[in-house]
Structure 1
Amino acid sequence: MNILVMMKVTFSTEEEITIEQGEIVQEGISLILNPYDEYALEQAVQVKEVYGGEVTVLSVGPKRYEDTLRTALAMGADRMVLIDDPALMGDEWIVSQAISAFAKKERFDLIFGGQMSIDYASAQMGPRVAVELGIPIVTTILEFTMDGQCAVVHRDMDGYMEKLRVPLPALFTTQQGLNEPRYPTLQNRMRARKKPIVYYIGEDLDFSHEDRQVKTVSQEFFVAPRRSEGKILHGSLADQVKELCDFLRFAIQ
């Protein structure tokens, strides 16, 4: 079983984001594996443990992501590939093209990825890659089992559960509730530091000039204004109701 996991490195949700000249300041902030991608990695490792095979983790980003990505190796991945090419670090379109180009070079039975990233939260990567590869996709799965050459998955559909049987190769995006990602032990972290990381650039993936053209451009990033403090109503219930009605009347006008 040859399994690919799409992994993104992002900033910790505990970080205070700073914006300078319309751009998010990346230097000096703590980096983590995208939490939704950790569910994807855990599922891939569980499949490997039962059916054998190899788990390859693929990410797009600069070399400074290397230390963070080694956490994925410590969690059970066998191989790490990093596409380190500034020309391919653009919008979801160009990143999905880079991932798809790599996936076409090797035969993968299963591809997993998080349902979205916690920074941009576009939820585009899985569908874009599946379309480019021409394989089935099921998003936001909550259960996963194998049945011969097919995967049987469940996903939440606005309050009810949908069960699907999907022939392989196929792509699945994962969400919280699918599994509990394992904690990388110190011993596994030490082993991971010795594993090599394979680097690719655009030329290695046979990119054309058209493939390198981004489709969207971010015009500006800005911090949302802080909400004003809430108003506490005082007095008797009747007084509070009158004050609330007066406030609503003023807000509607």
Structure 2
Amino acid sequence: MEIVVCVKQVPDTAEIKVDPETNTLIRQGVPSIVNPFDKNAVEAALQLKEKHDGKITVISMGPPQAKDALKECLAMGADEAILISDRAFGGADTLATSYTLASAIKKLGKVDLVICGKQAIDGDTAQVGPEIAEHLGIPQVTYVSKVEADGNILRVEREHEEGYEVLEISMPALLTVVKSINEPRYPTVKGTMKANRKEIPVWTVNDLEVDAAKLGLKGSPTQVRKIFVPPSRTQGEVIQAETAREAVGLLIQKLTEAKIV
């Protein structure tokens, strides 16, 4: 089984701050991590490989430092990694990103399954995975919480607000997975050493058969006009009283005056 996993290196959202003057994200000094949902995607691929053999290739589009994210995936057990990096890809929205990733997947040749995390924590659009499937012309299932393979057929559970759907699709196909699908394994010392020795190829715009008008900022119909921090809400009043009975009385009085009760 030939599996491709798309991963993204993202800023740790726990550390992100917004510049109050420019309303832009402050990225300096913010640590980068592998998108958590993409780790679930890598783990799902590894479990399928352990049952059905095959090869796992992880790909990422980003700056040169995204190699660190790819090496972490190699340390987990992926076989190959490819970085797609070029100034021509800069400023890409989800449509341009998915087009570029799909072009790279086509270059790989025969691929049975593409797995993505359900969304990236720095954008939360959940659009790139489904758009890749559309560019490739293959079926897709999103929000997958369980997957099993039987020959050329995938049997998956799809998580949604009211429960689960059980679906069967034939490969080649694309899945986006949710956090509940598995618990990603930790990279081993041996795997980390092997990943650090491995040379990760970098594909530029010249390595892909693409339409330049569909890349980067030029190929991005979505534009961010403004980023801002919502104003802080006023904190509620703390009622001070000598006894609990008095506090309750004051609370009822204030609720009555506010016409809440």
Give me the TM-score of the superposition, normalised by structure 2. 0.89
Q: How does 1:132-151 map to 2 (within 5 A)?
A: 132-151=135-154
- Equivalent residue for 1:53? 54
- Equivalent residue for 2:112? 109
- Equivalent residue for 1:67? 68
- SS of the equivalent of 1:165 reads strand
- Equivalent residue for 1:2? 2
1:92 maps to a residue whose letter is: T
- SS of the equivalent of 1:177 reads helix
1:79 counterpart = 2:80:
yes
Contact 1:233 1:243 (8 Å CA) reproduced:
no
- Equivalent residue for 1:194? 197
Q: For 1:131-185, what per-residue CA distance to the aligned partner results, in whole angstroms no more than 9, with x for missing partners? A: 1111111111111111121100002232222100110000000111101100112
Compared with structure 1, are the counterparts of its residues 86 and 226 closer, same or farther at alpha carbon in structure 2 (3 Å cutoff)?
farther
- Equivalent residue for 1:14? 14
Compared with structure 1, are the counterparts of its residues 248 and 190 closer, same or farther at alpha carbon in structure 2 (3 Å cutoff)?
farther
- Equivalent residue for 2:179? 176
Q: Considering only aligned residues, what root-mean-square deviation do their CA atoms show, in Å?
A: 1.7
- SS of the equivalent of 2:179 reads coil
Structure 1 stretch displaced more, 195-204 or 232-241: 232-241
1:96 counterpart = 2:98:
yes
Q: For 1:102-127, what per-residue CA distance to the aligned partner results, in whole angstroms no more than 9, with x for missing partners? A: 11122210000010111110000111
Report the identity percentage.
35
1:99 maps to a residue whose letter is: L
- Equivalent residue for 2:248? 237
Compared with structure 1, are the counterparts of its residues 57 and 68 closer, same or farther at alpha carbon in structure 2 (3 Å cutoff)?
same
Contact 1:81 1:199 (8 Å CA) reproduced:
yes
- Equivalent residue for 1:211? 214
1:122 maps to a residue whose letter is: T
Q: How does 1:27-38 map to 2 (within 5 A)?
A: 27-38=28-39
2:111 maps to a residue whose letter is: F
Q: Tell me how far 1:69 sits from its aligned partner.
A: 2.4
- Equivalent residue for 2:243? none
- Equivalent residue for 1:159? 162
Compared with structure 1, are the counterparts of its residues 146 and 225 closer, same or farther at alpha carbon in structure 2 (3 Å cutoff)?
same
Give me the TM-score of the superposition, normalised by structure 1. 0.92
Q: For 1:213-235, what per-residue CA distance to the aligned partner results, in whole angstroms no more than 9, with x for missing partners? A: 21111122223333332323454
Structure 1 stretch displaced more, 185-194 or 231-240: 231-240
Runs of 4 or more consecutive aligned structure 1 residues displaced over 4 Å after TM superposition: none
Partners of 2:259 and 2:34 in 1: CA distance: 44
- SS of the equivalent of 2:181 reads coil
Q: Tell me how far 1:248 sits from its aligned partner.
A: 6.0
Instruction: Tell me the number of residue pairs that the alignment of Structure 1 and Structure 2 aligns.
Output: 249
Q: Tell me how far 1:83 sits from its aligned partner.
A: 0.8
1:221 counterpart = 2:224:
no
2:11 maps to a residue whose letter is: F
Q: Tell me how far 1:77 sits from its aligned partner.
A: 0.9
Structure 1 stretch displaced more, 199-208 or 232-241: 232-241
Gaps of 5+ in 1: none
Compared with structure 1, are the counterparts of its residues 15 and 248 closer, same or farther at alpha carbon in structure 2 (3 Å cutoff)?
farther
Q: Tell me how far 1:12 sits from its aligned partner.
A: 1.2
